[in-house]
């Protein structure tokens, strides 16, 4: 059996722990490894690294992880571990990835890869020049709902795509009346890398680019709807960055996308994120896992009449796109792609260049908000 040693940094946070450690890396271990094209089994051998030794030891004991450490330099110095992954804080990420590249490690990471575009570009260039494998998580592309949208697109179902409407978010409790907040307080502090524009426009860049057309221009309005919250220690703090973003994007090919992102919205829709795609021949609405479609021959013909209650149950005029295949956990599916890229040189389209494009759109979104105007999205040179 072949072996791949992976250094996992920052996997004590909710996303890093649940999606990357438990449901991806440990899932590979528990299924007996990954079967390579040669038929050989690849063992995934992780070491978890972080500053909090007690947490490292707790996770290692709970999940029977043989190796853990608080010494990142020592982990990077081990030639037997050839991949470094980071899911820590945004402000530390570029420096850690650069350090891992200097140590000769292939790198894979969460996004944003930085809060500064030039830093992100320089990092992508460094990774390219190193000859090492590199990648950034693009998890929403692997959601069953969005994979069904891609299936509809590839089949020609939409005809010409006209528009995309996205709604993302939910109510994050303020923490001041008995219900604790379900997001960490750093999300609402600019100095700690917080803000929904930096967080979510990185996602919307790869979703739009890969499914509907390259983003050519952006107009974005941010807001800080909840100015004061309660932190993890029960202390009040001022929120000095955006908790909502209302953005419009012009896409290559002429489609228009509008995506609202908010941690101050109550949900009355099919899922925490939904995308509606309207085309000349058909439309579809997708959430995290489910997708509904409506072809032009099945489209009802409503007539505006404010003098009587609506007679059409619009939800019933859509058909659910069936599950025609088994969808694995999206994070795990992309992890396997990256591992095959490292071990077998399999195709991989999600390098750190894609991460830099996400940072670019976030920066332009913030600038658009500050200057209250549309901004073109130039092509990045690497």
- List pLDDT tens digits, range 313-341: 999 999 999 999 999 999 999 999 999 99
Confidence of residue 13 (pLDDT cuts 50, 70, 90): confident
Mean per-residue pLDDT over the chain, rounded? 97
**Average pLDDT rounded to a whole number, residues 65-79:** 97
Q: What is the pLDDT of residue 200?
A: 98
Residue 273: C-alpha distances to residues 156, 162, 207 (Å): 24, 20, 12
Percent of the chain with pLDDT over 70: 100
pLDDT in tens, 141-161: 999 999 999 999 999 999 999
For the whole model, what pTM was predicted? Answer: 0.96
């Amino acid at each position: 059996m072949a072996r791949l040693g992976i250094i996992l940094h920052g996997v004590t946070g909710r996303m890093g722990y649940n999606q990357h450690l438990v449901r991806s890396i440990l899932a590979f271990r528990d299924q007996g490894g990954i079967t390579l094209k040669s038929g050989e089994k690849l063992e995934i051998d992780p070491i978890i690294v972080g500053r909090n030794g007690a947490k490292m030891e707790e996770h290692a004991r709970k999940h029977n992880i043989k190796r853990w450490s608080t010494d990142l330099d020592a982990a990077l110095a081990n030639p037997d571990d050839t991949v470094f992954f980071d899911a820590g804080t945004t402000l530390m990420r570029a420096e850690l990835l650069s350090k891992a590249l200097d140590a000769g490690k292939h790198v894979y990471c969460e996004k944003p890869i930085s809060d500064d575009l030039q830093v992100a570009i320089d990092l992508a260039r460094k990774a390219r020049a190193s000859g090492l494998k590199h990648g950034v998580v693009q998890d929403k592309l692997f959601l069953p709902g969005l994979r069904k949208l891609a299936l509809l697109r590839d089949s020609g179902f939409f005809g010409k795509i006209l528009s995309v409407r996205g709604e993302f978010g939910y109510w994050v409790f303020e923490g001041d009346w008995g219900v604790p907040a379900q997001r960490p307080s750093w999300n609402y502090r600019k100095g700690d890398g917080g803000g929904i524009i930096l967080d979510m426009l990185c996602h919307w860049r790869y979703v739009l680019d890969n499914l509907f057309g390259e983003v050519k221009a952006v107009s974005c309005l941010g807001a800080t709807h909840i100015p004061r919250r309660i932190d993890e220690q029960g202390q009040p703090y001022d929120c000095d960055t955006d908790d909502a973003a209302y953005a419009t994007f012009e896409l290559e090919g002429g489609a228009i996308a509008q995506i609202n992102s908010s941690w101050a919205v109550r949900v009355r829709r099919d899922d925490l994120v939904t995308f509606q795609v309207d085309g000349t021949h058909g439309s579809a609405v997708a959430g995290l896992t489910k997708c509904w479609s409506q072809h032009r021959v099945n489209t009802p013909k409503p007539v505006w009449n404010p003098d009587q209650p609506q007679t059409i149950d619009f939800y019933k005029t859509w058909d659910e796109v069936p599950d025609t295949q088994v969808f694995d956990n999206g994070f795990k599916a992309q992890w396997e792609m990256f591992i095959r890229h490292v071990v077998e040189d399999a195709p991989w389209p999600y390098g750190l260049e894609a991460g830099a494009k996400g940072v670019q759109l976030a920066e332009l979104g913030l600038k658009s908000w500050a200057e209250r105007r549309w901004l073109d999205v130039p092509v990045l040179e690497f």
